[in-house]
Each structure stands twice: as C-alpha cells, then as structure tokens.
Amino acid sequence: MADATVKDLKRRMEGAVEVLKKEFAGLRTGRASVSLLDPVMVEAYGGQMPVNQVGGVGAPDARLLTVQVWDKGMVKAVEKAIRDAGLGLNPQSDGQTVRVPIPQLDEERRRELSRVAGKYAEQAKIAIRNVRRDGMDTLKRMERDGEISQDEHHRRSDEIQNLTDEEIAKVNEVLEVKQAEIMQV
C-alpha cells in the first residue's frame, strides 16, 4: 500500500473529527455563538438559504445573538426560520435587526445536550472505524494479490491501527471539552 493511501486514510479520519467539531459548534451551551445559527435555513427568494447569507450574524454579548438582515422584506422569514429551527430560541425583530436572546440552560437540558454530544462523538468514532476497515480490506486484497508481503501487511495494519487510535483519542478529547463547556453553569 502506498504512503498516499495511508495519507488518504488519515485525511478521511481527520475529516470525521472536523465534522464532529462543526456539529459541536451548533450545540447550545448557554453562551451566544454565531455558529449556533449555522444550521438555520431561511425561505428566501424561492429557495432555502443559510441565515448567514441573508444577513450578518453577530454575538454582541454572551447572552445575545443578532442578525442584521440585509433585505428588509426578509426580517419576518429570518425570525420564523430561527423560531422553527428547533433550537429553543425566541427571536424578536427590531427594524432590520433580529435579536435572539440565549436563555439560561437548566440542569436537565444540560444533561440532555451532553448526551447529544456523546451521540455525535460516537458517530464520529464509527466513521473513523469504517475508514480503518476500508484500509484493512485494501491491505488484505493487496496481500492476496501479491502486491505486498505478509510482513508489510502487518506493518501497515499496525500503522493504520495507531492512526485510528490517535483519531479516536482526538474525538474523546473534543467530547470532554464540549461536555465540560455544556455542564459549566
């Protein structure tokens, strides 16, 4: 197996960790973050558009998000999209600005968000393991076809396993940080 294939496996595994970080950015921690509105899609101009393409999203303080809507006619649509996004937010319009106060999280909601974070992390680990399995299958095929020796197969499989262990450790580290952030009052 060429080093390029191992680099490809590493790239795919790191991609799973990056996706996890993006999913975590959308989890509400009681603190305002502009990435909280990333999953919100607004009905605009005959299609669905991310909220950050119809207005500027800002976080002026820890308990407030603002969306400065560029087209005055889109204010109600932005407000409705945020309300219907399932984030537990209640936006209020003020001219062309939509203010989104971030409510304090109660203990039960913090535990629930922590479990959701754990599910996201488990999905990332599964994706990493699937990449490892693909790499191992490729090694078996190459050994069977005589492209690599048995020793080379063992050496490369150890390399892939070490890579997998490193990436899963990164997932666990990111999860710990996010859970601590969620549980922080």
Q: Give residue-wise pLDDT tens across range 80-133.
A: 998 887 777 889 988 889 998 887 778 887 888 888 889 999 999 999 999 999
The rounded distance, in Å, linking the Cα atoms of 134 and 132 is: 5
- Give the HSE-up count for residue 158: Cα atoms under 13 Å, Cβ half-sphere: 5
Whole-prediction pTM value?
0.69
Q: Residue 132 has what pLDDT? A: 95
Q: Cβ distance 104 to 62 under 8 Å?
A: no
Confidence of residue 176 (pLDDT cuts 50, 70, 90): very high
Q: Residue 172 has what pLDDT? A: 96
Nearest C-alpha neighbor of 25 from the set 120, 89, 135, 129: 120
- Give the HSE-up count for residue 129: Cα atoms under 13 Å, Cβ half-sphere: 6
Is 65 buried (19+), middle (13-18) or exposed (0-12) by CB count in 10 A?
Answer: buried
Does the pLDDT of residue 1 top 50, yes or no? no
Q: Residue 30 has what pLDDT? A: 65
Higher local confidence (pLDDT), 4 or 129: 129
DSSP 8-state class, residue 95: T
Across the beta sheet with 92-94, the strand order is 55-61, 64-69, 97-101, 92-94
What mean pLDDT is predicted for residues 70-77?
A: 90
Residue count of the chain, please give it. 185
Could you tell me the end-to-end alpha-carbon distance of the chain, in angstroms, rounded to an integer?
Answer: 50
Does the pLDDT of residue 42 top 50, yes or no? yes
Q: Cβ distance 175 to 117 under 8 Å?
A: yes
The rounded distance, in Å, linking the Cα atoms of 8 and 178 is: 28
Strands 47-50 and 64-69, by their bridges, are unpaired
Domains of the chain: 3-25+106-183 (1.10.132.20), 34-101 (3.30.1360.40)
Q: Residue 17 has what pLDDT? A: 92
